Structure 1
Amino acid sequence: MGKKVKQTIQIDGYEIDISNPDKLLFPQAGITKWDYLLYLTQIGPYLLPYTQNRLLTTIRYPDGVNGEHFYQKNCPKKRPDFVETVRVDETEYILLNNLPTLAWLANLACLEFHVSFHYATNMNAPTEVVFDLDPSTSEFGPVQETALQLHQILQSLGLHAFPKTSGATGLQVYIPIENRYTFDQTRKITQFIARYLAERYPNLITVERLVKDRGNKVYVDYLQHWTKKTLIAPYSPRARSSATVSTPLEWDELAHLSSPTEFTLPMMIERIQQKGDLFATMVQGPRESLDDILSFVERQ
């Protein structure tokens, strides 16, 4: 038997051609394009609620994780009817709104899905506040400690927060907010909290944007949270040899986690079956008011 050159699948009533299904996308993990597609269709119901109507930037690896890659914001000219798009300035963004679109992107060897902090219909109103914690070394301990200190501060402010791994070396902390604040307003809050952390833990945390000025400290990135900027979506795979996934966590679990890279595509569905969708409340639960903290910060 030779290699299959093409296979067709049906999702939600649409036929999608999968070219080169036997191609290895993650060689070290032994994951072919067909395997990848199966994983994504299983993870889709948990990934898609978060990517709905957000601007998508994807990273394509036509020859797998070890090959060349490129970022794609503009939707390819030739696209199926089920792919929804929105034009912003000169860019025709894909909206990752349904399972057939996810499968179509899998066929294009899109291995990462990064989405905006806002809906396409409301460019200046973020749906959450996000802190991106970026370690300067390969050690996980410092970024773990930073996340836990940040959590304590947010708790003291009465804010519920949801952590997830980046799928690489870092962590991200999300606060679902009422959809009525501007990015200017959320920036005041994130900047205030990040600087407070850096002053309180000067040997651990920095807000230095330049890598050369960070030393071994954890960078609390509050600048990435802005209109049209993107961050890796929860449950998105990462283009790493072990096929890691950006994975929502429980706070108790984070305290005992040895490495953020232990969560991979093959284990994700079993994890969700055990723990449930840990980002469901972040996406669909109650939203936080920032009025009190905003008035406090503006008075400083």
Structure 2
Amino acid sequence: MAVAIKETITIEGQDITLSNPNKLLWPELGITKLQYMQKLIILAPYLLPYCQNRYLTTIRYPNGIDGKSFYQKNIPPTAPAFVNSAQKDSIHYVILDSLSTLLWLGNLAALEFHTSFEYVGGEEPAEWILDIDPSEEDEPRLMEAIAIIGDTLNSLGINSIPKTSGATGVQIIIPIKRGHTFEQLRRIGHFLGRFLTEKYPDLFTIERLIKNRGSKIYIDYVQHSAGKSLSAPYTPRARKLATVSTPLLWTEVKQNVDLRTFNLFTIEDRLKKHGDLITKVAKQDLSAILRGIK
């Protein structure tokens, strides 16, 4: 009969239980829960800034990525006192604002962290994000498409940065100043999507229904709205290769970088080399482009 092992670690003055530290969360890669939590400590300075004032949804895999999973929005009733929460509608969301909370979630086998597009207590978008999804999992044209979108945004005077979703797609982040609305950003997204689908009809689509997209790459500007969420920058993903949602250099995009290379094994060296690439893009006022497409 197996004996459950529990250890206690102290982080930020808080005692956190580490149960079953040798449990395999990524069995094929040999990544245990203890190793995962060590990776979370490395990711924390980069992940937490994009979570600490957002409504959090986690995806938990109690028996590793090959087992059953479930989404968790409501804070568990057994949450320790140091875990903060915020209510929106009928849901009490965890607020991921500390390393101790992150490791508590890691011990619960929360392998993915998805955050709201708006800040807690507000209605404004925190940034503008375009979600670019290939219709086919192995899409050789994806980086070509991302480069085209980036160049088009740049031609409109909009600076952006791509990040891997950690799955099959890429998200393009546009840092913005306060004062924009989701509706305004959707108008720009619609304008951009129409332009690109007309100029590159064999490459892009803004069709919502997957069955009607064929092999085209979907420019999703509709998902970006209050009450919805997306994989946070630097979140791990419950994928076979333990990928991490990672910001990219535009030069990497144009070199057709392989999304699978950004994972729990490589992320530490990358962060040491590049830091947080998102913070290197200044927040922008998109009022001029809004006036231009009115």
Contact 1:4 1:22 in 2 (8 A): no
**For residues 219 and 193 of structure 1, do their structure 2 counterparts lie closer, same or farther at Cα, with a shift above 3 Å needed?**
same
Residue 259 of structure 1 corresponds to 258
* 1:207 partner amino acid: I
Q: CA RMSD in A?
A: 1.3
Could you tell me how far apart the structure 1 residues matched to 2:80 and 2:265 are?
A: 28
Residue 162 of structure 2 corresponds to 163
Residue 48 of structure 2 corresponds to 48
Residue 81 of structure 1 corresponds to 81
Tell me the SS of whatever aligns to 1:79.
Answer: coil
Deviation sequence 1:127-186 (CA, Å, 0-9, x none): 211110100113343221111111111111111101101111111100001121111111
- 1:46 positional shift: 0.6
Q: Matches of residues 207-222 of structure 1 in structure 2 within 5 Å?
A: 207-222=206-221
Tell me the SS of whatever aligns to 2:124.
Answer: coil
Residue 294 of structure 2 is aligned to residue 295 of structure 1: no
Identity %: 47
Contact 2:54 2:115 in 1 (8 A): yes
Could you tell me how far apart the structure 2 residues matched to 1:126 and 1:173 are?
A: 15
> Normalising by the residue count of structure 2, what TM-score does the alignment of the two structures yield?
0.97
Q: Which sections of structure 1, spanning at least 5 residues, go unmatched?
A: none
> Normalising by the residue count of structure 1, what TM-score does the alignment of the two structures yield?
0.95
**For residues 289 and 159 of structure 1, do their structure 2 counterparts lie closer, same or farther at Cα, with a shift above 3 Å needed?**
same
Residue 137 of structure 2 is aligned to residue 138 of structure 1: yes
Could you tell me how far apart the structure 1 residues matched to 2:257 and 2:273 are?
A: 19
Residue 109 of structure 2 corresponds to 109
Could you tell me how far apart the structure 2 residues matched to 1:258 and 1:281 are?
A: 20
Contact 2:40 2:103 in 1 (8 A): yes
**For residues 182 and 91 of structure 1, do their structure 2 counterparts lie closer, same or farther at Cα, with a shift above 3 Å needed?**
same
Tell me the SS of whatever aligns to 1:265.
Answer: coil
Could you tell me how far apart the structure 1 residues matched to 2:139 and 2:43 are?
A: 26
- 1:83 positional shift: 1.0
Q: After TM superposition, what 4+ stretches of structure 1 lie above 4 angstroms from structure 2? A: none
Could you tell me how far apart the structure 2 residues matched to 1:79 and 1:4 are?
A: 20
Tell me the SS of whatever aligns to 2:35.
Answer: helix
Tell me the SS of whatever aligns to 1:266.
Answer: coil
Residue 202 of structure 2 is aligned to residue 203 of structure 1: yes
**For residues 177 and 94 of structure 1, do their structure 2 counterparts lie closer, same or farther at Cα, with a shift above 3 Å needed?**
same
Could you tell me how far apart the structure 2 residues matched to 1:110 and 1:163 are?
A: 25
Residue 67 of structure 1 corresponds to 67
Aligned residues: 293
